[in-house]
Amino acid sequence: MFAEFLNSMAISFLALFPILNPPAMAPVFLDMTSMVSDKARHRLARQIGINTFFLLLGVLIVGGWVLNILGISIPVIGIAGGLLLFHTAWSMLNNAPKISPTEQIELQTKMHDKAFFPLTMPVTAGPGSMAITLTLVPAGHLLELKSILQFGGTAAGIALAALTVFLFYRFSAIVLRRFGKTGSATISKISAFILLAIGVQIIWNGIKELIRTM
């Protein structure tokens, strides 16, 4: 039982961490908050971490109901989310910025009261992370013990992913000073490659599930 919980937690964390990509987004966060004090930046980092957790937890809780209402299956969402992950990872590997320079300048001039939108969504937890969270919705009956353990483990994995967002954002200046531009770029590339592999795996899992239902 505990192994089921840990497995769900590990899978959800490993799926969300590359798409949230705190190491790569820390420089963006630091750049967008360059006009505010360190104390204000630290508060923003904490609030963004909290917002990220509750946003993705909300998607996890209501996502299954929404899919049932729309008649969309989890495997189809998995394939769509995997394709989105693949596209995101491919863009990252080819040095395409997650947000444009124009958007960064606009965000710098509208920092106050922007912890949720746009700093949490879509800059930190965008469509990719929400699509991945939908693929993590337990497939079994809600009241089954296995589903409860999977849900709890997935929620714990989301919490860990949100915690990494806070930690990297909170200590972004110190971390980037230590790693430098080359180190930050290396971390970003490694994360992008992991994201690419996870996207392929999610697509394949979705295809297998669709084949089983035929």
pLDDT of residue 62: 87
For residues 149-169, average pLDDT: 95
Confidence of residue 25 (pLDDT cuts 50, 70, 90): confident
For residues 160-169, average pLDDT: 96
In the block, residue with structure tokens 């000073």: 177
Comparison of pLDDT for 27 and 103, the residue scoring more: 27
| Residue-wise pLDDT tens digits, 68-100 | 677 777 778 778 777 877 876 787 778 665 555
Q: Lowest mean pLDDT: which of 11-15, 24-28, 41-45, 167-171? A: 24-28
Q: What does the domain layout of the chain look like in residue ranges?
A: 2-212
Q: Contact at 8 Å (CB) between 84 and 127?
A: yes
For residues 103-121, average pLDDT: 68
What single letter denotes the amino acid at residue 22? P
The number of beta carbons lying within 10 Å of the beta carbon of residue 141 is 10
- This prediction has a pTM of 0.72
pLDDT of residue 101: 61
Asked if the bond preceding 122 is cis, omega within 30° of 0, the reply is: yes
Comparison of pLDDT for 195 and 66, the residue scoring more: 66
pLDDT at 181 over 80: no
Per the prediction, the chain carries an average pLDDT of: 80
pLDDT at 146 over 70: yes
- Most confident range (mean pLDDT) of 23-27, 120-124, 156-160, 194-198 is 156-160
Q: Contact at 8 Å (CB) between 86 and 199?
A: yes
